[in-house]
Amino acid sequence: MTLRSAVSFLTPLGGVSAPGPRTLDWFWLVGAGLGAAVGGIWLGAAHAWPRPLAAGVAVAADLALTGMLHFDGLLDSADGLLPPVSRARRLEIMSGPDVGAFAVGTGGAALLLRWAALWVLRPTVLLVAGLWCLSRSAMAFAARTQPYARDPEGGGLASAFAGRSRALPAVVGVAVAFGAACAWRPLAGAVSVIAAALAAGGVVVLARRRLGGYTGDVLGACGFMAETIGLLVAAARW
């Protein structure tokens, strides 16, 4: 079942299920569900603790619900895409277990900014569900429209997505994301989703220029950066 494979790919839940191209069709729905769960935990935590602690609980809950997969993608992508090295060396770095200075700096800054944004925002399920839906939609759209940077025969988490396929489900996900975010606050929500989409696009463009396409780590970085920038824009003084 493609929904189960999407849950298995994007979370530690759902058991073992081999992903395929149709798995991408369900990314947006899994993202919306994850966002609703994180938003619900954030909202509940705010009733038990002050806002700074509630924000920390929400950040930790997101890491747990995703198995840190997307965060790991951000770290590997930072180490591979940011330093001035060859394409082959970038791919080698991203497949290795080591964590370098670029990963530490980027990952630490991203977690700090997410926590700070959640601290100043009033807890809400709609905004988080919308941004998390957008982030997974962006991941699916990137996998559908960009070439796979590694040899598909060599394996890799995202090798099953190699090849182009229909992008309509990702477009549906973007529409759902806009609807949820705008239901939170029309102007701020819409701008936050647009900013999140631009952030995801920036990661994809950088990966295309420096790797020739996407990898599983790039997809993770794409989603994580989309959520982070979306939260930062939502937390602005509107």
pTM higher than the cut 0.85 = yes
* pLDDT at residue 152, as a whole number: 64
DSSP string, 27-91: HHHHHHHHHHHHHHHHHHHHHHS-HHHHHHHHHHHHHHHTTTHHHHHHHHHHHHHSSS--HHHHH
Residues 6+ apart with CB under 8 A from 34: 10, 11, 62, 65, 66, 132, 136
- Show the CA angle centred on residue 150, arms to residues 148 and 151, nearest 5°: 105
- Among candidates 51, 11, 3, which has minimal Cα distance to 35? 11
SS3 94: helix
Divide the 238 residues of the chain into consecutive groups of 10 and give the mean pLDDT of each group: 83 71 88 98 98 98 96 97 95 92 97 98 98 97 90 62 66 94 97 98 97 95 98 94
Looking at residue 223, its amino acid is: G
* Count of beta carbons in the 10 Å neighbourhood of residue 18: 9
**What is d(CA 184, CA 86) in angstroms, rounded to the nearest whole number?**
44
> CA of 178: how far to CAs of 95, 183, 187, 195, in Å?
34, 8, 11, 12
Q: Please state the separation of Cα 168 from the chain's center in Å.
A: 19
